[in-house]
Structure 1
């Protein structure tokens, strides 16, 4: 079965013109929480390598320096102690803070996919797309397929994907959510034409944090996602699935893809 629904183009109010619902406010907060923990995870990972190297070179220097020179020995000891302090900070502060989303609890239950898609598309359409003058379309090949997973978490992941696509789209542009399922997996792909100006424009409504939109425009290392999609990646992986973000030049088609098993089980 193929269905299609579109949004309407409306006026373009400033940010204060958006009536943010309680659910939208909750989703914004969830997005920011996962983004914070994702950044902390990157900081922890990227700092440990250089710190380990400094620690190793300190031992090399110690063997090269004069053992009878107290100043040299104090300097090497200070280097090692400084590294140990930094590692302890990573373990006690950074790793502890991100523990909330590192082990993601899921409420498993079977649910039909199509109502979830309709609800999420309408939520983004009424919450942002109409105000931005962006057309939001659902192209579904689903019939009565069900997924055994956490409905609320998956809805949040879709919301982030669609909201970012709308934020990154110029007025009059179109955002499409295409979805299908095979015998074992559910696939959801969002496509849009990426516009840096749309993400930057302070005169149009925005729901995502300004620093997240700014970071999303920066070059990414291989296989790394923009920070704003931390929730999408974590939810997909917790269900045994995956999230992918394609690279796209200005005004070219970008894609965001979520793949989840229909009978999802907690990933190890």
Structure 2
């Protein structure tokens, strides 16, 4: 069947079974009506081949581009002598209009040099009008479609290969980064353990003091390892949350007992503001203590001697909010988007630690359906709020 571009577009063919060939949709870009009728006849019902199809004919390049933009065709047959087709430049135009549709060019006479140039311009094949018969044309169309399919598959494979290589390179960089951080951060506690252990062996120190140093250093190393495992679980979506009822006051008291000694040692005043009434939360208490503890620990670390860190808890907007405020150095606006990047702290601030605390705190908040809010003014201080939604 042949239609012109002024006819109503035929609807897409319905799904077919293996017993019936799918009809091809052929866009014939041909200005000569007689040649168009001949070529269209090649795609009538043909018992010995599967290249039966519907042919839509246009006589101008602009019409061809418009139809390709609106409809899906299996192949384009393009007459190189089209008045406004601009010869081989027209091939590039058609390929640009529909990159996934193969183009087969048709010329008045056989010309090897022209055929090579046409293929270089993007055509899949070259036919000679009035010399190549229906069998040759159908064969060229079938192979053009198949070559285009293989080209798409090859390009898809190349894209996936590039993506896989990029992912592998990223993984290698992360691995090297992790190994570098682990070796750096574990060196201090392991060195302390080795020194204390040797002192115990040669009897050069107080055994109880040395044993305490070994225990503290072991706990330090275990915290580093736990942080790395937690980040891995968070990024894999495997962080487990075990909810239990607990008062927010009990959580803040645990945090006070954990951080009061380190705050005092740093010369920082740690204040826990008391709540007037009991606020109950249904959450993984250990994880909440870990997350808010990371915020408190960071606040102490980045607050100069003589400064102040406060921890307050309140209820509002159907959530319990743990607010950690400090009088530290603050965060530059350009660094705010990077706060929750892995290892950023260690790379950019020169402070101790692997820079995983905020990543873990954010993962724990999100694991509870919550979030972390940040406000900061350079030279004034920062406020981090762990927002824990109330459970119905």
Match of 2:241 in 1: 106
Residue 90 and residue 240 in structure 1: after superposition, are their counterparts in 2 closer, same or farther (change >3 A)? farther
User: Is the 8 Å Cα contact of residues 216 and 227 (structure 1) preserved in structure 2?
Assistant: no
After TM superposition, give the deviation of residue 158 of structure 1 in Å: 1.0
Counting only pairs closer than 5 Å after superposition, residues 11-50 of structure 1 correspond to structure 2 as none
Q: What is the number of residues matched between the two proteins?
A: 177
For residue 208 of structure 1, what is the aligned residue in structure 2?
Answer: none
Q: For 1:162 and 1:181, locate their aligned partners in 2 and report how far apart those are by CA, in whole Å.
A: 19
1:238 to 354, 357, 367: 367
Select between 114-123 and 85-94 the one with higher mean Cα deviation.
Answer: 85-94
Q: Which of 327, 345, 350 matches 1:213?
A: 345
Determine which structure has greater relative contact order: mean sequence separation of CA pairs < 8 Å that are 6+ residues apart, divided by chain length. 1
Matches of 1:158 and 1:107 in 2, distance apart? 17
Deviation of 1:99 (Å): 5.5
Within a 5 Å distance, the mapping from 1:88-107 to structure 2 comes to 89=168, 100-101=233-234, 102-107=237-242
1:146 paired with 2:280, answer yes
Task: Report SS of the residue matched to 2:377.
Answer: coil
Provide the C-alpha distance between the structure 1 equivalents of 2:361 and 2:294, rounded to a whole number of angstroms: 7
Partner of 1:49: none
- Does residue 387 of structure 2 align to residue 259 of structure 1? yes
Q: CA deviation at 1:215?
A: 4.6
CA contact (8 A) 1:116 1:155 kept: yes
Q: Distance in 2 between matches of 1:82 and 1:240?
A: 36
RMSD: 4.1
The CA deviation at 1:81 is 6.6
Which protein is bigger by CA-based radius of gyration? 2
Distance 1:100 1:227, change over 3 A: closer
Report deviation, 1:227: 5.3
Where does 1:49-64 land on structure 2 (aligned, <5 Å)?
A: none
Structural mapping, 1:118-157, within 5 Å: 118-126=253-261, 128-157=262-291
User: How far apart are the structure 2 equivalents of 1:86 and 1:246?
Assistant: 39
Structure 1 residues 132 and 82, CA, compared in 2 at 3 Å: closer, same or farther?
Answer: same
Cα deviation, 1:90-139, whole Å, max 9, x if unaligned, reads 89887xx965222221111111221110111220112x211101000011
Q: Would you say 1:85 and 2:164 are equivalent positions?
A: yes
Are the structure 2 counterparts of residues 212 and 142 from structure 1 closer, same or farther at C-alpha, using a change threshold of 3 Å? farther
Q: Contact 1:184–1:262 (CA<8 Å) still a contact in 2? A: yes
SS at match of 1:140: coil
1:159 equivalent among 279, 284, 293: 293
Tell me the CA shift for residue 89 of structure 1: 2.8
Tell me the TM-score normalized by structure 1.
Answer: 0.54
Question: What CA distance in whole angstroms lies between the structure 1 residues aligned with 2:274 and 2:121?
Answer: 73
Deviations 1:161-195 (A, max 9, x none): 00000000000100011211248321111111223
Summarize deviations over 1:59-116 as a string: whole Å, max 9, x none.
x9xx997779xxxx9xx9997475143255389887xx96522222111111122111
What is the TM-score of this pair, normalised by structure 2? Answer: 0.38
In structure 2, how many angstroms separate the alpha carbons of the residues matched to 1:112 and 1:217? 35
Structure 1 residue runs without a partner (length 5+): 1-59, 197-210, 219-225
